């Protein structure tokens, strides 16, 4: 039956009526069940008439026990014509929306490029990061917490990071994760101490001797303070970190809590 509908559509027929009985109906029912279409038992037991009207992008149809009068077929053809206009309009709007979105992306990129080209001092990279974050938000990525620019010079262990955090001081989020490239003091300053901060222990430091890990944990918590703060790593833990070193980090946080409570 499907092949007959496709043939009629390719031939640009206005409509086609397919009367199914006997083996043809049984084969059709088997096909429907095979593709997972639910059927009410007994509905297609003896006869099923498919009346299909064609339009440029597809077909619409109805299924009945008996053939429909010519007036009903003509009405279905008229519906197909209206649906053709509707679907064509939908496709046009989809294309227009895609083009508009692409145009918004180009505008956003130009704003970021313009701010980067206007830089006079390296410190202005944070302004570029802020523009990037703002533009991503306007493009629909509103959940983006931070925008950052990392500079890792070749053959150097030093990494510089420039973050856009300031707008998050008024965020509705419950907390903000900070990595080890942002100092506790800077994070507090940029968020105006209005939001709970989480972080920012460098996971690489977990490879250091345990006494050193505990000392660094104390320095980290001292920097953030115990209010509106969750002690945590500044990023995911790496596979090569010894389990006892990870435990030492947790124990150091607990020890700090016991001392200050």
What are 68-73's contacts with CB under 8 Å, separation 24+? Answer: 68/17, 73/15, 73/17
- Per-residue confidence at 242, pLDDT binned at 50, 70, 90? very high
Domain contains 159? no
Which residues have CB under 8 Å from 58's CB, separation 6+? 9, 87
Question: Of 27, 48, 72, which closes a domain?
Answer: 72
| Tally of structural domains, the chain | 2
Domain contains 19? yes
How much is the mean pLDDT over the chain? 87
- The predicted pLDDT at position 193 comes to 82
Domain contains 33? yes
Domain contains 176? yes
The pair of structure tokens assigned to 85 is 């206009």
Residue 166 has pLDDT above 60, yes or no: no
Reduced to 3 states (helix: H, G, I; strand: E, B; else coil), residue 184 is helix
pLDDT tens profile 57-96: 999 999 888 999 999 999 999 999 999 999 999 999 999 9
Helix H segments across the chain?
2-10, 22-34, 70-117, 125-138, 184-191, 210-224, 243-260
Domain contains 99? no
Question: Of 55, 72, 89, which closes a domain?
Answer: 72
Task: Give the structural domain span for 223.
Answer: 168-261
Q: Is the pTM of this model over 0.75?
A: no
Domain contains 26? yes
Rounded to whole angstroms, the Cα distance separating 26 from 45 reads 8
Neighbouring C-alpha atoms within 13 Å toward the C-beta of 11: 11
Question: Of 12, 44, 72, which closes a domain?
Answer: 72
Rounded to whole angstroms, the Cα distance separating 107 from 209 reads 50
More confident position, 201 or 257? 201
Domain contains 241? yes
């Amino acid at each position: 039956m499907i092949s007959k509908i496709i043939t009629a559509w390719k031939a640009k027929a206005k409509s086609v009526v397919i009367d199914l009985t006997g083996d043809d109906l049984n084969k059709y029912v088997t096909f429907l069940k095979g593709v997972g279409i639910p059927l009410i038992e007994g509905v297609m037991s003896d006869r099923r008439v498919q009346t299909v009207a064609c339009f440029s992008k597809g077909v619409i149809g109805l299924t009945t026990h008996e053939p429909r009068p010519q007036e009903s077929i003509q009405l279905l053809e008229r519906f197909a014509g209206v649906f053709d206009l509707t679907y064509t309009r939908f496709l046009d709007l989809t294309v227009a929306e895609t083009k508009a979105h692409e145009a918004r992306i180009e505008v956003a990129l130009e704003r970021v490029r313009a701010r980067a080209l206007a830089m006079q001092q390296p410190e202005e990279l944070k302004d570029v990061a802020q523009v990037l974050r703002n533009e991503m938000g306007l493009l629909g990525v509103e959940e983006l917490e931070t925008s950052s620019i990392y500079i890792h010079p070749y053959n150097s262990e030093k990494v510089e990071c420039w973050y856009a955090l300031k707008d998050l001081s008024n965020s509705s989020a419950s907390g903000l994760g900070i990595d080890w490239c942002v100092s506790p003091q800077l994070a507090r300053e940029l968020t105006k101490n209005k939001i709970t901060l989480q972080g920012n222990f460098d996971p690489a430091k977990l490879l250091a001797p345990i006494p050193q890990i505990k000392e660094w944990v104390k320095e980290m918590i001292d920097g953030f303070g115990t209010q509106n703060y969750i002690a945590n790593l500044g990023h995911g833990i790496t596979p090569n970190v010894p389990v006892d070193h990870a435990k030492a980090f947790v124990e150091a946080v607990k020890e700090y809590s016991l001392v200050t409570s």
